[in-house]
Amino acid sequence: MTASCTEPRAAEQMRGDGRLEIHAPRTFDGSFVEAHELARRELEPVFVPVTPYTDDRGWSLMNLLTGAMSEQGQINFSMQYPQVIKAWHRHDKQTDFWCCLTGHLKAGIYRESDDKAWLVVMGEQRRGVLVIPPPLWHGAACVGSSPAGLLYYVTCAYDPAQPDEHRRPHDSVAGFPWHTRHG
């Protein structure tokens, strides 16, 4: 399979409430290893669409993160309640791979060095894996009326003695649109 990468179209860009311009992450149609390398090299998030396998018994997302996982990593699952914003945090070493399995999340990513931000709504109606390299700030807001279930892989297991995590308030990135847009 030949990998392809698309830049967000101008129509996918929007302005938040302030000076911050919000972009859609680039979409990458290739391996998870290549997506991880691209995200780290460009210091930006990469969205890898995933096509469910569906038959008369239900559906499956198969071969997620093939080649990207290592012994140092960790797989986690988190439920987020409606109207909850879990943001912002970043890591010095680890890359996050996010896949929203149930409900929908508005994922926000922010690069502090040049004030660039990305936003993608992912979940049941937009399946895929979002690759978030260090040191990008990131977080998520549950959108819709049902909880969102996030399956995520991190390349470095959590160490409670030395957490690889920095936090800041959800409203500390001026102009980031965590709220639901109406109209």
Instruction: Write down the pLDDT at residue 3.
Output: 60
Architecture of domain 21-51+74-157: Sandwich (2.60)
Kindly report, residue by residue over 37-66, the tens digit of the pLDDT.
999 999 999 999 999 889 999 988 888 888
Contact 153, 73 (CB under 8 A): yes
The mean pLDDT of the chain is 90
Rounded CA separation 47/35 (Å): 8
On the question of pLDDT at 1 being above 50, the answer is no
Q: Is 42 helix (H, G, I), strand (E, B) or coil?
A: helix
Contact 97, 130 (CB under 8 A): yes
Q: Where are the domains of the chain?
A: 21-51+74-157
Backbone torsion region of residue 35, taken as left when φ is above 0, otherwise alpha when ψ lies between -120 and 50, otherwise beta: alpha
pTM, to two decimals:
0.88
Kindly report, residue by residue over 2-31, the tens digit of the pLDDT.
565 554 443 344 444 457 999 999 999 999
